[in-house]
Structure 1
Amino acid sequence: MIVRIMGEGQLTLADGRLGELNKLDDELLAEMENGDGPGFRATLQALLAKVRELGEPLPDDTLEPSDLILPSPDATLEEVQELLSDDGLIPGGA
């Protein structure tokens, strides 16, 4: 799976790793629903850090269609809400 972090680039991520990201995605959704700005910010940073940890960066001169697009680290709560699906940011979540 190809994951894009807006403003950073693309990474390849094994589909089997999505489960590891869903817990953070579920936390992010709960914080957004509760209007917890500081919690949202911390969890967004943790989610992006986990994607970077688990993923393998694609070369800068490579552009592949992205299967998953995640917000930039400085995205606002409102910007992230626009990217949400019923599953959150990561497919297969609660």
Structure 2
Amino acid sequence: MIMRVMGEGQFQVGESDLNRLNQLDEELLTALESGDESAFRAALGSLLDAVKEVGSPLPDDSLEPSDLILPDAEATIDEVREMLRTEGDGLIPGLPE
């Protein structure tokens, strides 16, 4: 799966890493629902750090379409809420049952 982190590029992430990313996405959703800015910042940072840790960066000149787009680390709570309205449940899709 190719994930784009806005302003930072694309990362190829293996399916085996999606469970961990989904857990971090759930933490982000909880922080968004609470409206706690510091919890939101920590959860967003953890999610983005994990994507960059487990993902392999694609070259800047790569023309691969992104499977999903994640906000940058400076995104506001309102910006991420808007992305969630567009994406559905969370930023990272769940694995099929």
TM-score (norm 2): 0.90
Question: What does 1:1-94 correspond to in 2, within 5 Å?
Answer: 1-84=1-84, 85-92=87-94
Shift of 1:64: 1.1
Deviation at 1:61, TM superposition (A): 1.0
Q: Unmatched 5+ residue regions in structure 2? A: none
Where 1:59 maps in the other structure, the secondary structure is coil
5+ unaligned residues in a row in structure 1: which ranges? none
**Partner SS for 1:3:** strand
Q: Which amino acid aligns with 1:37?
A: E
- Tell me the secondary structure at the aligned position of residue 60 of structure 2: coil
Paired with 1:71 and 1:15, the residues of 2 have a C-alpha distance of 20
Q: Cα RMSD (Å) of the superposition?
A: 1.2
Aligned letter for 1:17?
A: D
Offset of 1:71 from its aligned partner? 0.3
Q: Distance in 2 between matches of 1:56 and 1:12?
A: 5
Instruction: Flag as ranges the 4+ runs of structure 1 deviating above 2 A.
Output: none
What percent of counterpart residues are identical? 58
Query: What is the TM-score when the length of structure 1 is the normalising length?
Result: 0.93
